[in-house]
Chain A
Amino acid sequence: MPQTGTATILKIFEADFGGIVEEWRGTQVEEGVRRSDLFTDSESRAQNIELLKAFLTGIRSGVHEQDFSFEDTAWEDLRAVLADLTKERVSRGVTPSEMANFVLALKTPLFSRLATELAGDTDRLIAEIRLVTRLIDAFAIYTNEVFIAEREQIIERQREEMMELSTPVVELWDRVLTLPLIGTLDSARSQEVMENLLETILQRQAEVVIVDITGVSTVDTQVAQHLLRAAAAVRLMGAECIISGISPMIAQTMVQLGIDVGTVSTRSSIRTALADALRKVGYVIEKRDAH
């Protein structure tokens, strides 16, 4: 191996940092990975400079005998800058390949400068290019990992939000409430839903509550237990509970599970449940002759 790795590349950076930034930005434009629609010119220049400075800091003290690991403290600047930049870019809709190419575009200005600097010394040129390639490839891969982790976090957050969709208790008529359940009914959420329901029964002096599970895809023993507990609590408050929206699929599955709904009324649709509920509180639905 001809002399230690980073001296030449550091020299190149120090000689013309501004020039490298501009050429890097130029390559990004050529490759179509500079999103002028998403970032203003000065914003993207500032990002490029910050990122390149952090990369340079890492090269200065984080490469030992051609070896480096982005987990080392020498690279913590880069990690921090990248975390911020990625967050921003993900939220503005940049894709992972754009992000990787954005980093890979750095090869162009560095290779051309290395070629000039080491003209005539092919062995060293190849060795230097090999090192720079490894550094930048690793940089791009690391960037992608950060990017994917950030996206996964967003997905996870959205998933949580969806699972916690607020479950409104709706007053359908005098003393008739409905609770349309959607999604997954885990223990934490079912506790919340139940408290809200019992509170509303009290406020509205409800006599019938329709718990509609049309939007619940799976009723396993846990969900069934939550539903039956809710029905029991409703009854303790002096109201009646009707569970509606039990599809034929769910009905058959519940039978196989051996779930006994006991005295809880069940209806296949919210429509029949509503007709029942109205009758119970003393109303009849009547069709007018003329229609």
Chain B
Amino acid sequence: MAEPQPDFLHKILQRIDLKTGKDAVQARQVVARELKARGVSALRVTRFATAVSEIARNVIVHGGGGHFTVGLNAATSYLDVECRDRGRGIPDIDQAMKDGFTTAGGLGRGLGGAKRLSDRFEIETVPGQGTTVRMSAKI
């Protein structure tokens, strides 16, 4: 896996515990608010908020809950989001990223979609130990 960007989450804005669907909604709303406040276009706000919604819901549905952190990377002007869980991890990440792959009767488009909807996206997962997704939107 790629090393995280050196300035990732340089300045933390908010953390949310991800336990239920409501927390994912809150995470998504915080991201939308922060992007809007920085003059990001409505389209790009919708795109990244949707990506965050996918990843935060994965943490809750597949990862048994975890943590969401949103922050700024002023040097490179990105809004950074990290979603982390200590769940079962993903055994085959290439397979999981493919559209249509799901182990839970979903559409199986969350991971691939979130990657396409973010300006930067990286996923780190260790089977049995958990999954961390770092994603950013250019401000």
A54 contacts chain B at the CB level, 8 A cutoff:
no
A253-B117 in contact (CB<8A): yes
Interface members, chain A 188-224 (any B CB < 8 Å): 217-222, 224
Question: A221 and B109 in contact (CB under 8 A), knowing A249-B42, A257-B50?
Answer: yes
B80 contacts chain A at the CB level, 8 A cutoff:
no
Complex: A184 Cα to B22 Cα, angstroms: 9
Complex: A257 Cα to B107 Cα, angstroms: 10
B46's contact among A163, A184, A249, by CB below 8 Å, is which? Answer: A249
Q: How far is the CB of B19 from chain A (nearest CB, A)?
A: 13
Question: A218 and B49 in contact (CB under 8 A), knowing A159-B22, A252-B43, A253-B117?
Answer: yes
B57-A222 in contact (CB<8A): yes
Q: How far is the CB of A162 from chain B (nearest CB, A)?
A: 11
Q: Please count how many residues in chain B sit with their CB below 8 Å of the partner chain's CB atoms.
A: 24
Complex: A252 Cα to B51 Cα, angstroms: 13
B25-A225 in contact (CB<8A): no
B46-A220 in contact (CB<8A): no
Residues of A within 8 A of B112 (CB): 258
B113-A256 in contact (CB<8A): yes
Question: A258 and B47 in contact (CB under 8 A), knowing A218-B28, A220-B54, A221-B54?
Answer: no
Complex: A222 Cα to B117 Cα, angstroms: 16
B107-A259 in contact (CB<8A): yes
Residues of A within 8 A of B109 (CB): 221, 257-259
A220's contact among B42, B45, B110, by CB below 8 Å, is which? Answer: B110
B7 contacts chain A at the CB level, 8 A cutoff:
no
A258-B43 in contact (CB<8A): no
Complex: A212 Cα to B43 Cα, angstroms: 20
Contacts A187-B21, A252-B47, A253-B47 known; 8 new A-B pairs at CB < 8 A: A221-B106, A222-B53, A248-B43, A249-B46, A252-B46, A258-B112, A258-B113, A259-B109
